[in-house]
Every structure is written in C-alpha cells, then in structure tokens.
Amino acid sequence: MVYINGQPAGKLIIQLAPTGMIPSRGDTPNVPITPEEIAKDTNEAYRLGASVVHLHARDGEGRPTYLKEVYGNIISLIREKCPNIIICVSTSGRMDMDIGHRSEVLSLRPDMASLMMGHVNFSINPSINTMDTIRRLACAMNDRGIKPELEIFEPGFINTAKYLARKGYLKTPLHFNLLLGSLGDMPADFRDLAYLVESLPPGSTWSAAGIGRFQTQITAAAILMGGHVRTGIEDSIYYNYETRELATNKGLVERAVRMAHELGRDIATPAEAREILGLERKAQK
Ligand code: ZN
C-alpha cells in the first residue's frame, strides 16, 4: 500500500497513449496506425486495466490527421470493444496550428481532450499554443461538456492554467498531465516531478509520463506520489532504451500494472476513473 499524508493513496488510473504524431512504421512496426489497429491495442490495454485512452488519428499514408471522420471511426470501434473507457482526444498544434482543424474532433463529444498550456520546442516540430488559441480551445471544450486534460511541460504552464481558471476559462477541479523528459521540456528527475506536483492548485488531479527513456522512473514516481500514469508508444518506442528492445503498447501497460501492484496501488476501473476525474457524462454510445 502507498500512503500519502498517512492515508492510503487512492486507485491508480492508467492512460494509454498508443500512437501519437511522431512514431512511424519505419521507427517501429508496433505503432498502431489504422483505426482497427488503434482499437485493437486499446482493447488489449483496457483488458489489462487502462481506463483512459489518449488518441491521435493518422491518414491512409500514416501521417497525422485532424479529420473527424477518422477520429469518429477510431472512437466508435473503441467504444464497441471497451465499454465505458474514457476517450481523450488530442488537439495538438504540432503539425497544424489551424484552430478550426484542431477543434474539429471536439464535435464528436469525447469525454476529454488534451489542451497544452504553452509552447514547446520539440526536436522535430515545435508545438505553438498562443493564449488566444488556448482560450478558444478551452471554450470549445466547455461548450460541449468535454473536460480538458491540461498538458504541462514546464512550471510556467501551471501558472497559465491557474490564470485561465481564475478568468473562468477552465472549470475546477483541474486535471493535469505532466510530461517530462522531452527536449525543451522539464527534465525527468524525481525532484522535477515533485516540484510540478507541489505547484498544482489544491484539489487538482494529475497523471504523469516520462518521455522516451524516462518512462519507467516517472511511472514509479507517479505511483508513489499518489498520481496517475500515462504510458504507450506515443511516449516511448523502446521498452528498454539500453538494449533497444522495441515496445508494444500491451507490454508497456503490463509493466505499469506490474509496478502498481508491486508498489501497492490498486488499478481504477473506467467507472472509478470517471469518479476520480469528476467526469459528469456517462460513456457515449
Ligand atoms: Zn498526444
């Protein structure tokens, strides 16, 4: 059992990020690209205990796409196979900054959507998110009853979230996803995660992911600190960065489940995860 302030930590939400925008078939044959492949990997993760899936869509050539038809296809296949799983879509502007494109997927009324709180200089494409873009995406989510998952890459992003909550653009309690270890991002030492968590507004929920080789240490730290975890090929294409053993989504989720059991956190079901995250809506059909 993990104790936080002398109290048993609650159940652990495991989020799968199966695809992302960057991994290609050339990088790893294990990255799911088509709606069927994404739904299959999600279903395997769901059976192991994942209660949230963070989705990116790809076109027929394997390139990132914003088109809601593709997202719609993925979401309906997943909802068929994984009742009640929490669907969190990406509104990333890493490849395409057009606000209309980025918000198109919100018309499908997923449970949650990612919302980055600032810019990041990734090694391949920068992710640009102006204050105006963030406000407009937040309003589009609020109008549709979609809970934002606030993506945090460095401490200034948390200040932005607090400011937007004060101004009424974000409804509390907030949910944060803390992503550590990318180039241009917060490093992924334990102290970095602890600092981010300390900086969150009281009453918030949070999950964390270590990018690339930092995945395992951040997963362990998040489990021990009472947070939640995200894992998947979007964040780490290797299972072991020393041996270059390629990851599968199933293998990464299995490892997170194993670590949670060893360290003493029970895994949340989708219904329990909805409760923890304060999601008002039930799963859509
Ligand atoms: Zn993503």
DSSP structure class, residue 214? G
Residue 3 CA to ligand 1 center (angstroms) comes to 30
Distance 101 CA to ligand 1 centre (A): 16
Q: Residue 131 and residue 134: Cα distance in Å, rounded?
A: 5
Residue that wins the pLDDT comparison between 100 and 45:
45
- Decide if 12 contacts 223 (C-beta within 8 A): yes
Instruction: For residue 101, give Cα distances in angstroms to 46, 64, 132, 211.
Output: 29, 12, 15, 26
CA of 77 to the centre of ligand 1 (A): 19
- Ligand 1 centroid, distance to 121 Cα (angstroms): 15
Spell out the CATH class of 3-277: alpha beta
- Rounded to the nearest angstrom, the distance between the alpha carbon of 55 and the centre of ligand 1 is 7
User: Could you report the per-residue pLDDT of 24-51, keeping only the tens digit for each?
Assistant: 999 999 999 999 999 999 999 999 999 9
Calculate how far, in angstroms, residue 234's C-alpha sits from the geometric centre of ligand 1. Answer: 7
| More confident: 261 or 128 | 261
Region of 118 please: left (phi>0), alpha (psi -120 to 50) or beta. left
What is the Å distance from ligand 1's center to 64 Cα? 11
| CA 253 / ligand 1 centre spacing (Å) | 16
3-state secondary structure of 31: coil
pTM score above 0.85: yes
pLDDT band, residue 139 (cuts 50/70/90): very high
Q: Which residues pair with 121 in a beta bridge?
A: 126
Phi (first) and psi of residue 88, to 5 degrees: -120, 115
Residue ranges of domains in the chain: 3-277
Q: How far is the CA of 122 from the centre of ligand 1 (A)?
A: 13
Give the type of residue at 240: N
For residue 57, how far is its CA from the centre of ligand 1 (angstroms)? 10
79-113: b (≥16 Cβ within 10 Å) or e: beebeebbbbbbbbbbbeeebebbbbbbebebbbb
Bridge partners of 135, per DSSP, are none
The dihedral over CA atoms of 138, 140, 145, 149, expressed in degrees to the nearest 10, equals -40
pLDDT for res 249: 98
Q: Indicate the pLDDT class of residue 251, thresholds 50, 70 and 90.
A: very high
> How remote is the CA of residue 10 from the centroid of ligand 1, in Å?
25
* 116 Cα to the center of ligand 1, angstroms: 10
CA of 114 to the centre of ligand 1 (A): 8
52 CA distance to ligand 1 middle (Å):
13
95 has a pLDDT exceeding 90: no
Q: How far is the CA of 90 from the centre of ligand 1 (A)?
A: 6
Instruction: Identify the weakest region by mean pLDDT among 78-87, 96-105, 137-146, 171-180.
Output: 96-105
Please list, in sequence order, all residues whose beta carbon lies within 8 angstroms of the beta carbon of residue 42, skipping any fewer than 6 positions away. Answer: 16, 18, 50, 53, 78, 81, 82, 85
How far away, in angstroms, is 67 Cα from ligand 1 center?
15
Compute, in angstroms, the gap from residue 1 CA to the centroid of ligand 1.
31
- pLDDT tens digits for 152-161? 999 999 999 9
